[in-house]
Amino acid sequence: MDDLYKMIKPFLNRTILTKYNFGFAGEVYIETDKFEEEYNQYLPILEKYFSLKKPFYCNRNYTYYSTDLIETTDLVKNIALDAPIILNLELSYDNKRYIIFSLTEYMLSCIAKLVGVIFSYTSLDVNYYKALKEYLKNLTDYITQIIFDEELNQFPPLSFGLIDSIISDIKELNISHVREYSEMDNILIMFITYFALCDYIGEHDIIISPLQGAALIPPFFISMQKYTNIMNRCSGLAGYEYVRFSKYDNTHYCELSLPDQVHLLSTQYPESTNILLIDDNTGTATTLKSIKQELLKYFKNISTSALEYYWEGKIFRTDYSAFQLDDIDLITPLCYRYFKILEEHLEFLKNEKDINFRYDLVEFSKINMIYDKIDYYLYINNDCTEISTKTRILNIYERIKVVMEILSNAKNSFYN
């Protein structure tokens, strides 16, 4: 099971992510002295995407979190126009890479917002879903190449005619707003989790994720797998799909019910398809279990996973039952980021509230990704009844610790 992990582990030493400071929401910071002169030189372009958070510049501002349909689609067009210009500017390489990385993240977020709307309405889905889903994968292919410090090639082109047509049809349905963001828009967490799960991901044919929070996970994992598999000559996932469902999110409206969505999937894939059902985070695992229950009506082989978990619920008394180890197949030790803290932090990123950071941006593990108030070995050994499940959980736990250590050491050596 460790063969692929061992083969792709050297890729960890090639990532540029160690050179960036990641924040609580997945935003990326760069020191002002490395960025300010060129930022001011190209202010009309760059102020659309960056904000000053002394002593850093941050690659998110209020535009990233806009819920207005027109603002979002205007931003899509701006990125499509600005990215090629930036690629041709006489910028320092590190700054240019940081800017293009950031613009790609912006575009990923905007397209994911549009996918969430389009998937929910049958008339939109039939016309645009396939095209935007493919474009999402082109974007994750592109950002993966940036992550591994490949040459900055042409930004993935997008048809303005397609965007104009989407806007027109969405307006016909009296829709004026999109979701604020996808919860798992944190490249660092997705990157670390991919390496921890790479062997297990490779056992599946497709990834299915619930919209909206997990929208970016499937295309990113597929792009990561494709990149590392090209180098290692391995086979890869055939594709990815979405369902629109949540037990807790009141904004998850979809014209098709979950049973109808799953039935439609069953007409596109054979019963023997190996499915990885993966969410961004989970507290009770109720959403995952509900989707899996529907999938099992048509498919035999389904594995479940989430990237972050409410591990605090294993220690503190809560008003609901936290997820059970035997309910989920691929469990990480990554700890769910509190909504209240995240919401407060987003106000800061949107420049609507001047608050102090809750963490040290200089430290690589600043988002406290592993909950440190639990003895995972003791808890898992005592509370996991299925031996194969126990083995997987401990294996993933060990891998994430190793991956984070490698990245942390790489960052320390970079700054030293």
Q: What is the pLDDT of residues 152-201, one digit of tens each?
A: 999 999 999 999 999 999 999 999 999 988 889 999 999 999 999 998 99
DSSP helix/strand/coil, 207: strand
The pTM assigned to this predicted structure is 0.93
Q: Which residues pair with 50 in a beta bridge?
A: none
Rounded to whole angstroms, how far apart are CA atoms 144 and 115? 21
pLDDT confidence tier of residue 366, bands split at 50, 70 and 90: very low
Which token pair is 79? 């990125």
Angle in degrees, 0-180, between the axes of helices 258-266 and 286-295, rounded to the nearest 10: 40
Query: Contact at 8 Å (CB) between 209 and 133?
Result: no
Query: Six-digit token pair at 188?
Result: 């660092």
For 130-166, write each residue's pLDDT tens digit.
999 999 999 999 999 999 999 999 999 999 999 999 9
Residues in contact with 339: Cβ distance below 8 Å, sequence separation at least 6, in sequence order: none
Burial class (CB in 10 A: 0-12, 13-18, 19+), 97: middle
Copy the structure tokens of residue 300: 């035999």
In order of 238, 240, 321, 329, 367, the CA distances from 156 in angstroms are 21, 20, 44, 35, 31
Closest CA relative to residue 144, chosen from 82, 64, 78, 225: 225
Length of the chain counted residue by residue: 416
